[in-house]
Amino acid sequence: MSKIDLLRDGHNRRIRDVRVSVTDRCNFRCQYCMPAEGLPWLERDAVLSFEEIERLVAVLATMGVHDIRLTGGEPLVRRDFPRLAAMLAAVPGVQDLSVTTNGFLLERDAEALVAAGINRFNVSVDSLQRDRFFEMTRRDALPRVLRGLEKLATFPDAHPIKINAVGMKGFTETEILPMAEFARTHPYEVRFIEFMPLDADHSWDRSKVLSGEEIRAAIDAVYPLEAEPREPSATARVYRFADGHGKIGFINPVSEPFCGDCDRIRITAEGKLRTCLFSLHEYDLRVPLRDGASDEQLRETIRNAVWKKELKHHVNDPGFVQPSRTMSQIGG
């Protein structure tokens, strides 16, 4: 691949990673993402087909975007999702294919997803207590999610398996040590993610964010931690337990933004390109796809959009404007 083909933004950051939402639908109603009554879903013909997703991934792969993460909504509710995963795993240039899921359907789909070529899994689990899991997700689903994790863990090719928990004041404090112990006694890396302003109710404010540093300090006081080197463009700061029993990570987009070496873009379920999770602008890829654009025309549209990628998000700046779309509509 010639250097001119590589995708870069206007700040000379190389783009290597795309988060592709395959659906806006979800079977949970997590407080930090969706209202209890849910959201109006996209019409089915508005959502990109498997073939359209495959083509966009193939075009991006020719530009050096080789890490693909499939998200939603909840990706596993998309009918025949393992077939899409297999299609993308076969795209030349794709090096890493991962999925972010709430785990509700993992018990059913784990074997098919691993066989399809997904090699990394992120599973959202905000509490290990059944009643509090229900409080956060509005679904009594913890036993089923844990069974799905156990099933997934039986496949060597599925590891590493990462557990994501959102850090919210007034909720997460009592989850910190149980989650740390879970990471120490299971083959999972628990990662705490700071609560971000992407909730449907637009009720986010800084006072509700339980920072990664507060969580790290609480764990370190009981189970000493040792920092691992941060990989370039990594979202997580990873620590190992000093006694060798497992790892834990912290994703701190609010208190410690990692925008400087961001290498990610996003495609929504209906084919909108977003250059930042907090973008206020989107670029339509579905219309040119369906109007018969050539691969080079698609590349040019993508290049022009990515050139305008934001230097940073503005969550901590005065006058920050929260995106109108929620995490489930953008792609988690």
How far apart are alpha carbons 165 and 128 in whole angstroms? 10
Average pLDDT over the chain, rounded to an integer: 91
Angle subtended at Cα 217 by Cα 165 and Cα 244, rounded to the nearest 5 degrees: 80
Look at residue 294 and give its three-state secondary structure. Answer: coil
Q: Among the listed ranges 134-138, 259-263, 306-310, which one has the minimum average pLDDT value?
A: 259-263
How far is it, in rounded angstroms, from Cα 232 to Cα 313?
18
- pLDDT, tens digit (0-9, with 9 covering 90-100), for 248-301: 999 988 888 778 789 999 999 999 999 988 788 899 999 999 999 999 999 999
More confident residue, 281 or 53: 53
Distance CA(150)–CA(187), nearest Å, equals 10
Contact in structure between 198 and 326 (CB atoms under 8 Å): yes
Mean per-residue pLDDT for 11-36? 90
Across the range 240-245, mean pLDDT stands at 97
Domain ranges (residues) in the chain: 3-330
> What pLDDT score was predicted for residue 232?
76
- Is there a contact between 11 and 61 (Cβ–Cβ < 8 Å)? no
The amino acid at residue 94 is: V
147 — pLDDT class (breaks 50, 70, 90): very high
What is the predicted pLDDT for the residue at 174? 96
Distance of CA 21 to the CA centre of its chain: 9
The amino acid occupying position 321 is V
| pLDDT for 20 | 98
| Segment 114-122 mean pLDDT | 97
Residue 187: asked if its preceding bond is cis (omega within 30°), the reply is no
Give the integer Cα–Cα distance in Å for 208 and 75.
28
Question: Any idea which of 30-44, 78-92, 318-332 has the lowest mean pLDDT?
Answer: 318-332
Cα–Cα distance for residue pair 173/80, rounded to 1 Å: 38
In terms of Cα–Cα distance, which of 255, 308, 258 is closest to 280? 308
**Cα–Cα distance, 147 to 160 (Å, whole number):** 17
Residue 2 has a pLDDT of 46
User: Closest by alpha carbon to 96, among 116, 64, 66?
Assistant: 66
Give tens-digit pLDDT for 219-241. Answer: 999 999 999 998 877 788 999 99
* C-beta separation of 259 from 275 below 8 A: no
Task: Determine the pLDDT at residue 327.
Answer: 65
306 and 65 Cβ atoms separated by less than 8 Å: no
Split at pLDDT 50, 70, 90, the class of 1 is: very low
Best CA proximity match to 104, nearest among 133, 71, 138, 147 = 147
Question: Under CATH, what is the fold of the domain 3-330?
Answer: TIM Barrel (3.20.20)
